[in-house]
Chain A
């Protein structure tokens, strides 16, 4: 643990999802309150591990995203907290800044009835930009042999309760590639909700851990054991992760998740059905290829578009193909 590690935490703060989570009985849910206290304990633990450890917290709210805390002191809250002699000062600063900002953000919502999808992707990109800045500034000040190698060990932790948004496939994949370039590990902690295909892929591709929490009342135990060790010592302290990764992608035309698709040979965009012109790079495909590909879809042959779905109604005479 010689290198200081940087942790960027992305909090999924979708009120509806948290409400569902709190009500949920079958996988025992957790209320936002308990979650926040456990989270604070975890964050305090991280900055206590090593003096040089840095922390940045981002919040993903419905329709917006923002930084909530940063140990380099960029975010300060307007209200000065009362100094408490019994609390370690850095902890106090962290906790209070974080909570006040969350409250402020939540206040900013007016009376809309529909919840916008959370800005998880925005948080991810902001975190990557922040890390990039941190790495370049630290390496420029360091004159050792390491030079180009980052002197911090950065990682991102995503605490998620919401399901997948297929519209975010492309931006998430782009973030994953940038994370690979920056050598940032993305860990994912799934507290509630269905399996998140894109985040699974993110963890798998960057070498991080994807943990699905079963005993939510012991969430802190999960976080301490899986996400506290920095990537450097993960060779010694093995962290649990989920091996089974769902490698499906989302098509570019309808943003549906597909298993078998068609890929443009120029720009590598994925489509669920053969198109004459690629929508991203406007390459025209030859007609013969299209015909061949259309024939190559036996699933479509099983339910051709010209025939109505007769079997459901049990009609004796199916319609002739048009």
Chain B
């Protein structure tokens, strides 16, 4: 029996058992059984996440290298003990994971994880019924995954996902592939078939991964809606699902409930009892976001504990929580009667929110909620607005409006052009282009000819005649030109679906090979290191491999033409369609040949 580092009572997949951590393994045994149902070597541990502090259930989720979903454990001991146990496990596992990270070099085998990836990774199938008060893990994993970032990975913050973090790398790649089906298809064909390795495929596509990583790290802000859990009626029973997130929101929205919770739990009431009684109390009813009574569904009982926290309804003339408004001295002084001719500038007593008195508390609740939202977004209530009232400058700054500033056009940086003559004239060898078309003509001779042409023009004009045939031919050719251009726009191609798909795959595959080939030839686009810092020998080998694939492109196109012929499509059309990619391939092949023919002499 290997030495046990720590152990705890924990349930896995809703079954109670014992979770143990040894030097080499993490295992979980179902209660009453001998052999562990889950046994995972510690070298496999890749990521860690846990439920929120203060959440009713104490959970720990361990992600593995091979299986991202990993295993979820819920610590079943009484709360305090469970928390301590979980922390201990967490500390140990974090060390192990850090060790794994630095020890294990690079990417896992591309085939296996991809197959595991086809079902979406974030929903391990812990199908729990609606009846339980706890929501299934997927909802939990959302807020805890973001925290998993800080727990598990250290180099995430640098923003370059490539190469620093294998599991997040892999996850990003999968996400990108899922979102662009064409890329997924290309990936399937090339990487699955083994032509290109995973790294090579992603080289040059780092920006896609970066974009995905950036999109993920963005957190959603607080929702604008008031927190209003609605009970759902299921089979005649009334159920509310309570998530830690919901609990957190309720505490934030209604501090009274937080106070009640702190006072009563775990002393007088257990958590479950607290919540069930809360939702049946008048306190909760007062916190609803709608004044329509749903009394039919919801029985409001008197509750000795919760009724203590009831407050008077907020429906006086002034709201209970007055807004703290800082009065701008300038504006106050500046307001005159003339500014508001229609209404005058007295306080408006007719401006009362809501004709019904019962609506007032609700409206004020909305206002408070919105204020709170804005404050969290803008950084603290009145933190920005409050300034030390010192000195003249602050007052002046208030009336110094941006719009009143004079429009100053900047003079800009003067363009110093060197050698203007050369820039504008430079006749160099420009004329060599059109030279010697059909033999040199003497300028003077030509000049004489031209002069002669201008004489007697009116006679020539009267004798102007166009040959009928020539005119018709010209007309026909021009009409054809217009017609073909119009045709191209209107007509769709009748190439059958299968053949068309083959043509597209051939083209995209050839493009990818070309891209890899030229990547080896040209130096990297930016100065930072790319994924595979290949030595020249490696690059040469890769280039040769790509050339091999590219040479086969011609045969592929021939095959496509043959297929077209069989299906009755004009093969010339297929050839015309594939011509651009063939040109590119030929260019690459020529370049390679040229390079190789010169190279042997050098070394």
Contact = CB atoms under 8 A, between A and B. Distances in A.
A36 B433 contact: no
Interface string A36-54: 1110110000000000000
Given A24-B438, A40-B461, A279-B418, 20 more contacts: A13-B450, A20-B439, A36-B454, A41-B461, A114-B443, A117-B430, A163-B437, A166-B428, A194-B434, A217-B466, A217-B470, A218-B467, A218-B470, A218-B471, A221-B466, A221-B470, A226-B478, A255-B430, A282-B418, A292-B527
Interface string B432-447: 0110011101111111
Contacts of A38: 464, 466
A103 B434 contact: no
A141 to B, nearest CB: 31
A-B CB proximity, top 4 nearest: A163-B434, A15-B446, A240-B481, A218-B470
Interface in B463-484: 463-464, 466-467, 470-471, 473-475, 477-479, 481-482
A211 B475 CA distance: 13
Interface in A192-217: 193-194, 211, 213-215, 217
Given A167-B427, A302-B594, A16 B415 contact: no
21 contacts: A15-B449, A32-B454, A34-B464, A37-B457, A38-B464, A114-B443, A164-B430, A168-B430, A170-B423, A194-B433, A215-B473, A218-B470, A218-B471, A222-B478, A240-B478, A243-B485, A255-B429, A256-B428, A279-B423, A295-B523, A298-B522
A208 to B, nearest CB: 15
Nearest to A38: B464
A31 B453 CA distance: 8
A20 B523 CA distance: 49
B451 interface: yes
Interface in A9-66: 13, 15-16, 18-20, 22-24, 31-34, 36-38, 40-41, 62
B265 interface: no
Interface stretch (A70-78, A105-113, A142-150, A179-187): A105-113
A15 B460 contact: no
Contacts of B444: 111, 113
A220 B431 contact: no
Contacts of A218: 466-467, 470-471, 473-474
B572 interface: no
Contacts of B442: 113
Contacts of A16: 441, 443, 446
Interface of A: 13, 15-16, 18-20, 22-24, 31-34, 36-38, 40-41, 62, 95-96, 99, 102-103, 106-107, 109, 111-115, 117, 162-168, 170-171, 193-194, 211, 213-215, 217-218, 220-222, 225-226, 238-241, 243, 252, 254-256, 267, 279-282, 288, 292, 295-296, 298-299, 301-303, 307, 310, 318, 321
A18 to B, nearest CB: 6
Nearest to A303: B598
Contact of B527 (A102, A288, A318): A288
Given A19-B449, A32-B449, A318-B602, A163 B433 contact: yes
Nearest to A13: B450
> Residue among A166, A170, A239, A307 with the most chain B CB within 10 A?
A166
Interface of B: 415-419, 422-431, 433-434, 437-439, 441-447, 449-451, 453-455, 457-458, 460-461, 463-464, 466-467, 470-471, 473-475, 477-479, 481-482, 485-486, 521-523, 527, 591, 594-595, 598, 601-602
B461 A95 contact: yes
A19 B416 contact: no
A299 B449 CA distance: 47
A239 B482 contact: yes
User: Chain B interface secondary structure, helix, strand, loop or mixed?
Assistant: helix
Contacts of A164: 430, 433-434
A279 B419 contact: yes
Given A37-B461, A95-B458, A280-B417, A193 B434 contact: yes
A103 B457 CA distance: 11
B470 A99 contact: no
A251 B429 CA distance: 12
B470 A280 contact: no
Given A36-B453, A40-B457, A111-B444, A166 B433 contact: yes
B428 A106 contact: no
A280 B426 CA distance: 14
Contacts of B466: 38, 217-218, 220-221
A117 B427 contact: yes
A167 B428 contact: yes
A280 B421 CA distance: 11
A284 to B, nearest CB: 13
A217 B471 CA distance: 8
A102 B455 CA distance: 10
A41 B419 CA distance: 46
A310 B451 CA distance: 52
